Structure 1
């Protein structure tokens, strides 16, 4: 199990500096305010909006941790952030779980969850109290959308989460709101999904009634063996999610390498459909494109495993 290799920015507390200095440094952009009485140094050049949000939120957790009671810990999507799990559509709201609401001082901008967190379901990440990886997956799957829940569950499996442990946690919560959805998310989770885009593409296909695709499907070609993000052997159909990082760096060289790979797959008798972030915004169009590429009948599924929100 890993909680990622990110670094938490140093928190600069206003109480340690003259008010005029704090105001001046924030005004010039040298410091960035993360919450009342706390700042961090300006973000490094080239930091995108998502990275800025994560840096500020992690630093805010450090500042907030001093106000937590002894039985409180960060949970839900906040714990997912500490575990360095990618999220989809997550707000910057901080989640804290404790056996009493008084464990967090009033005025803190947090979502308070009143529940017991046994010792075997809590840990420390970068010195911050948080739910274990399995507990984090269970909490997120019960309270998040199917999309966010599946993105987190897939990433957690890649980070070493034990699905049996998550299932046991859900069994102990039988009858509670969100458990049924969480079980469906866990059943659909796949360690082979390597990005949120791949998880969301698979979710759209499952929600449309397609049979579960095989992730990291190996295909032999005259150039060697390649792995596709997902696909169905019976239809000789491959789905590739194209994130921007795939083409970063030497763009022409990377593009030509991807083209040779795609040509080799087609020559080996496979059809290839590429999906981008923009395609995920219109699931119906994506589903129609996939159906048009299917060779043979599509098994009818009376009830999709997961539905889109």
Structure 2
């Protein structure tokens, strides 16, 4: 077992590995790579993320001279993702053979020394380079989720812009620069990035993230806010309304009661509070917010560069 916790078959007794798999003490991560069997938790997304991370670390251990890149690098950097990558992305100097593994996406790109780093035991593209690669290659919503979180973690987005502008191939450049300009450190979840993406794609006024409004019952902090229009928008997930979900002292009932008191006060002060959930879908969510804002232009400013948002895998 190496320091990543990954066991490579080429370094171990094959028969011992087969016994461990049969006894469910080990699990296969990908061809030739294993790890100790882990019990499933109540959080399926966390389990899937850990397994995807293990697969990236396995590929990094198996391939010599490869640098983990794109959304696989984002995963190792701990960035939020709209969806987990289906392939492990790496930058390699040589072409793959026809027998190469299908779960690896190889990129022949030039990396400067300042564009490489090490995360754990894996060679990975730097945070800024990772953001640039993702902005150039991914759907803009997926890239925005990554860029938002990277900005919150202090990534140098100016360096990311330089990387985008410096590419010889101009394809995707304009869209990537637009996503970088849209990035906002205030987004605290992928769904908050999604909601802001809908607003900006429609040509509505750019909101302030985490707008704070004082009330006698405590501060109300909105995911998105337009102070000049006295409009606040919240993306509501289930977590904060689930008892103990945010720690043993988290009281979901008290959270709901306190929020109601603050919202009642804000409405008395002529603020509008709009709450959106994932089940609303893009059209409904946008309509509920847009009716309280000046109408968007007949032709949104970036229709070609900001296509409709994709659904997360598994969501219908």
Q: What SS does the aligned partner of 1:224 have?
A: coil
Could you say which residue in structure 1 is the equivalent of 2:267?
266
8 Å Cα contact 2:225/2:233 also seen in 1: yes
Query: How far 1:265 sits from its partner (Å)?
Result: 2.5
Look up the SS of the partner of 1:123 in the other structure: strand
For the 8 Å contact 2:116–2:123, the answer to whether it is kept is: yes
Helix, strand or coil for the counterpart of 2:51? helix
Deviations 1:229-261 (A, max 9, x none): 111112211011112222231332222222223
SS in 2 for 1:69: coil
Partner residue in 2 for 1:129: 123
Distance 1:66 1:141 in 2: 26
Do 1:100 and 1:115's aligned partners in 2 also have CA atoms closer than 8 Å?
no
Identify the residue that residue 5 of structure 1 maps to in structure 2.
Answer: none
Report what 1:285 is aligned to. 284
Q: What does 1:287-306 correspond to in 2, within 5 Å?
A: 287-294=286-293, 297-300=294-297, 302-305=299-302, 306=306
Residue 221 of structure 1 aligns to a residue whose secondary structure is coil
Q: TM-score under structure 2 normalisation?
A: 0.85
The normalised TM-score by structure 1 is 0.87
Residues 82-93 of structure 1: matches in 2 within 5 Å? 82-93=76-87
Per-residue deviation, 1:220: 2.0
Q: Mean alpha-carbon deviation: is it higher for 72-81 or for 39-48?
A: 39-48
2:307 matched residue in structure 1: 307
Give the Å deviation of 1:102: 5.1
Say if 2:234 is the partner of 1:235: no
Deviation of the 1:301 alpha carbon: 6.5
Higher mean C-alpha deviation, range 20-29 or range 203-212:
20-29
Partner of 1:37: 32
Structure 2 residue 6 is the aligned partner of structure 1 residue 11? yes
Equivalent-residue separation in structure 2 for 1:197 and 1:53 (angstroms)? 18
Matched, 1:65 2:64: no
Query: Displacement of 1:153 after TM fit?
Result: 0.5
Q: Cα RMSD between the aligned structures?
A: 2.5
Q: 1:175 to 1:38 in 2, by over 3 A?
A: closer
* Partner-residue secondary structure (3-state), 1:181: helix
Number of residue pairs the alignment of both structures matches: 297
User: Could you say what secondary structure the match of 1:287 adopts?
Assistant: helix
Residue 146 of structure 1: aligned partner: 140
Deviations 1:175-197 (A, max 9, x none): 52111110110111111111101
Unaligned runs of 5+ in 2: 245-250, 310-316
Q: Which residue of 1 aligns with 2:313?
A: none
Q: Which moved more, 1:188-197 or 1:38-47?
A: 38-47
CA shift in 2, pair 1:92/1:154, >3 Å: same
Q: Deviations over 1:58-86 (max 9, x none)?
A: 2223322233233x200000000001111
